[in-house]
């Protein structure tokens, strides 16, 4: 069971437990959750909900960063891509990285060809970045921008070590 002030992930959002109501509804205990991403959003959720998970810790962030270069992109037709993006938004941090890498490369190709970037790709890129860097930032005790810069820097360090070998 989670404790008061713990952070957790539930349905494409990161929450902090701001209260626990015991025997609240149907004799069940409920968490009162406040969204970290949208502080105006507060929900009540049964404590025995199987869809919630702890946020990652500092060591897990470091392991994910090591995996980033090996995480592939999504190779689907544009018509199927949005369905995959929606599915992956509910997935793991590796899934969020797939979205970020895929949308980044698609938008870069469009910009290189002097075309406007896709609104769909921009939207999913932003959503995936928000979720990834917010969760990692909580584990690292950093804000969004510092977390993003830290992760990019760590990837650059990894890449430079590979080039030296």
Candidates 51, 1, 41, 6; CA nearest to 22 is 1
Distance in angstroms (rounded) separating the CA atoms of residues 150 and 153: 5
Backbone angles phi, psi at 53, to 5 degrees: -145, 160
Could you tell me if 156 and 81 lie in one domain?
Answer: yes
3-class state of residue 72 by DSSP: coil
- Please check whether residue 113 lies inside any domain of the structure: yes
Could you tell me if 11 and 82 lie in one domain?
Answer: no
- Residues 57-75: tens digit of each pLDDT: 999 999 999 999 999 999 9
- Please check whether residue 92 lies inside any domain of the structure: yes
Residue numbers of the domain that contains 129: 58-164
The residue ranges of the chain whose pLDDT is under 50 are none
- What pLDDT is stored for residue 160 in this prediction? 80
- Please check whether residue 2 lies inside any domain of the structure: no
- What pLDDT is stored for residue 79 in this prediction? 84
Indicate the burial class of 6 (C-beta count within 10 angstroms; 0-12, 13-18, 19 or more).
middle
Rg (alpha carbons) of the chain, rounded to whole number = 18
Q: How many domains is the chain built from?
A: 2
Could you tell me if 76 and 153 lie in one domain?
Answer: yes
- What pLDDT is stored for residue 162 in this prediction? 66
User: What pTM did the predictor assign?
Assistant: 0.88
**CATH code assigned at 134:** 1.20.58.1290
Could you tell me if 86 and 67 lie in one domain?
Answer: yes
- Please check whether residue 1 lies inside any domain of the structure: no
For tokens 């959002």, what's the residue?
13
């Amino acid at each position: 069971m989670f404790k008061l002030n713990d952070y957790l992930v539930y349905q494409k959002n990161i929450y902090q437990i701001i209260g626990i109501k015991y025997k609240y509804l149907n004799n069940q205990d409920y968490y009162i959750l406040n969204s970290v991403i949208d502080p105006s959003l507060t929900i009540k959720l049964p404590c025995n909900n199987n869809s919630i998970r702890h946020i990652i810790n500092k060591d897990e962030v470091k392991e994910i960063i090591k995996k980033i270069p090996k995480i592939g992109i999504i190779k689907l037709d544009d018509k199927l891509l949005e369905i995959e993006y929606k599915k992956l938004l509910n997935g793991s941090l590796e899934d969020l990285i797939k979205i970020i890498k895929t949308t980044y490369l698609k938008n870069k190709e469009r910009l290189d060809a002097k075309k406007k970037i896709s609104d769909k790709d921009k939207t999913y890129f932003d959503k995936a970045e928000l979720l990834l860097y917010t969760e990692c930032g909580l584990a690292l005790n950093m804000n969004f921008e510092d977390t993003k810069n830290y992760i990019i820097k760590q990837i650059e360090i990894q890449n430079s070590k590979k080039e030296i070998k």
